[in-house]
């Protein structure tokens, strides 16, 4: 595995991809022209909710998350649907055991919803994958019992098949696992990957040739790892990113040319940076950058449009608290489309997508922790709302 290590001093000098909009300019933007926030919806079921992802099926938004708290031992998967105007279309929950934690979701070519996470059944943690039809019917559920415990963190579609990544606990620690299922949920292959340290797969994506890209976290070294796998699970290459501190993976995307863009958070000393890592299909480094010159931020989700426009969301850490952050990523640009949103007492962005405008989902703290969904006006090549 190639090891790319950066000390703190080097890390803090990473090329900034964007400079923060000054407070005065932001106030000006908010006071003229079309409002930057087209609409906002808070999804509150009366208890704590945590956003996981945001998907778009034709004219419908699908917000996926968890209802309840993992810490209390009671939690169910939560699926909420909105139209593009923010009107609520319905809600459903999914549970197998008492404790159920959703980690990721995606849509297949027929707009079936695929969900991945884990459930605790008789004190055993098992990987759980669920397939829902557009009319919300459950088509199938599949549990994977691997090692002492197994859980899914990421899921994606590979042609008509389904790839899942996560972690499996054995006598030797925690391994990254990746499996491929057919459309009916039958396992085609399953692999464990061990790199002389504990780790778990975090997100998985497929390129146009059916190869898989996995972003993973190293539990012991606290680094970000990337893997490119052949369609049968054999390894093309692996890469490691180490800022010298604690690095956390999150969003992953593959563009139309097979280039890989990953988003994460690097924590070194008193610095918290949103980092963006770009690799070519052959594993060559294209770029490693951080958001802002000295901006404290956490990297979360990423969305690449069919035209190649890249949107990234995260959480901005300010003296007044945590704010939602979303921006268009253009390497080398110093002034591009960007929004910072203060919502509730505390806020944490989770996912972003583009469908004519930019849609953002995150957690906000009110009387309980709720899910907030935003539609943000977007105009190409402009900072103007």
CB 12 within 8 A of CB 346: no
For each of the chain's 385 residues, which pLDDT tens digit applies? 555 443 333 333 444 443 333 333 333 333 344 578 999 999 999 999 999 999 999 889 999 999 998 888 789 999 999 999 999 999 999 999 889 999 999 999 999 999 999 999 888 899 999 999 999 999 999 999 888 999 999 999 999 999 999 999 988 789 999 999 999 999 999 999 988 888 999 999 999 999 999 999 987 778 999 999 999 999 999 999 999 999 999 999 999 999 999 999 999 888 999 999 999 999 999 999 999 888 999 999 999 999 999 999 999 999 888 999 999 999 877 668 999 998 867 899 999 999 999 999 999 998 889 999 999 999 776 554 3
Are residues 294 and 364 located together in one domain of the fold? yes
Residue 116 lies in a domain: yes
381 and 274 belong to one structural domain = yes
Spatial separation of the C-alpha atoms in residues 21 and 27, rounded to whole Å = 10
User: Distance between CA atoms of 341 and 359, rounded to whole angstroms?
Assistant: 13
Do both 268 and 342 map to the same domain?
Answer: yes
Q: Is 61 in the same domain as 16?
A: yes
Domain boundary among 188, 217, 242: 242
Q: Which of 177, 212, 242 is the last residue of a domain?
A: 242
pTM over 0.85: yes
Same domain, 233 and 291: no
Q: Do 23 and 132 share a domain, yes or no?
A: no
Between strands 2-5 and 235-242, the pairing is parallel
Q: Please check whether residue 156 lies inside any domain of the structure.
A: yes
Q: Which of 242, 271, 294 is the last residue of a domain?
A: 242
> What ranges make up the beta strands (E) of 280-320?
285-290, 297-304, 310-318
Answer yes or no: do 302 and 165 share one domain: no
Establish if 38 belongs to a structural domain: yes
Judged by DSSP in three states, 256 sits in coil
How many Cα atoms are found within 13 Å in the side-chain-facing hemisphere of 101?
17
Residue 71 lies in a domain: no
Question: Is 281 found in the same domain as 230?
Answer: no
Reduced to 3 states, what is the DSSP secondary structure of residue 10? helix
CA angle (280, 285, 290) in 5-degree steps: 115
In a domain, 72, yes or no: no
Q: How far apart are CA 216 and CA 250, in angstroms?
A: 9
In-domain check, residue 84:
no
CA distance 366 to 45: 12
What b-and-e string marks burial along 193-208, b requiring 16 or more CB atoms within 10 Å of the CB?
A: bebeebbbbbbbbbbe
Q: What are the distances in angstroms from CA 84 to CA 8, 172, 202? A: 43, 48, 29
- Regarding whether 221 and 258 lie in a shared domain, the answer is no
The answer to whether 130 and 94 are in contact (CB under 8 A) is yes
12 and 127 share one domain: no
Residue 368 lies in a domain: yes
Inter-residue contact 227 to 216 (CB < 8 Å): yes
Which CATH number goes with the domain that contains 143?
2.120.10.30
- Assess whether 371 and 310 both reside in one domain: yes
Spatial CA neighbour of 37 closest among 300, 343, 335, 308: 343
Looking at the fold, whether 109 and 217 belong to one and the same domain comes out as yes
- How far apart (Å, rounded) are the C-alpha atoms in residues 104 and 154? 5
DSSP bridge partners of 367: none
CA distances from 358 to 32, 44, 306 (A): 19, 22, 14
Looking at the structure of the chain, the number of domains it has is 2
Its domain, for residue 237, covers 95-242
């Amino acid at each position: 595995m190639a090891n790319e290590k950066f000390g703190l001093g080097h890390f803090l000098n990473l090329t900034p991809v964007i400079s923060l909009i000054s407070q005065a300019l932001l106030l000006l933007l908010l006071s003229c022209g079309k409002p930057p926030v087209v609409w906002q919806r808070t999804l509150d079921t009366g208890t704590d909710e945590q956003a996981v992802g945001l998907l778009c099926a034709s004219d419908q938004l699908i917000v996926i998350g968890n209802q309840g708290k993992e810490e209390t031992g009671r939690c169910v998967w939560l699926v909420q649907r909105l139209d593009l105007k923010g009107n609520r279309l319905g809600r459903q929950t999914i549970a197998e055991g008492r404790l159920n934690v959703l980690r990721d979701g995606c849509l297949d070519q027929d707009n079936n919803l695929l969900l991945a996470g884990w459930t605790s059944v008789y004190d055993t943690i098992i990987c759980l994958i669920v397939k829902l039809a557009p009319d919300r019917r459950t088509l199938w559920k599949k549990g994977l019992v691997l090692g002492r415990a197994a859980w899914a963190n990421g899921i994606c579609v590979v042609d008509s098949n389904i790839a899942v990544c996560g972690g499996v606990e054995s006598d030797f620690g925690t391994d990254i696992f990746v499996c491929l299922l057919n459309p009916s949920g039958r396992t085609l292959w399953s692999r464990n990957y061990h790199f002389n340290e504990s780790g778990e797969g975090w997100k998985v994506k497929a390129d146009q040739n059916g190869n898989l890209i996995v972003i993973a976290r190293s539990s012991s070294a606290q680094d970000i790892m990337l893997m490119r796998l052949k369609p049968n699970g054999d390894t093309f290459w692996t890469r490691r990113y180490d800022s010298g501190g604690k690095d956390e993976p999150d969003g992953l995307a593959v563009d139309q040319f097979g280039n890989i863009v990953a988003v994460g958070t690097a924590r070194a000393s008193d610095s918290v940076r949103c980092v963006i890592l770009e690799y070519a299909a052959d594993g060559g480094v294209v770029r490693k950058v951080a958001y802002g010159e000295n901006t404290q931020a956490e990297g979360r989700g990423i969305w690449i449009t069919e035209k190649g426009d890249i949107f990234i969301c995260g959480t901005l850490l300010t003296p007044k608290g945590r704010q939602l952050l979303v921006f268009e990523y253009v390497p080398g640009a110093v002034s591009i489309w960007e929004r910072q949103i203060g919502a509730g007492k505390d806020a944490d962005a989770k996912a972003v997508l583009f469908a004519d405008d930019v849609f953002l989902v995150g957690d906000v703290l009110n009387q309980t922790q709720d899910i907030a969904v935003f539609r943000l006006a977007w105009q190409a090549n402009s900072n103007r709302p």
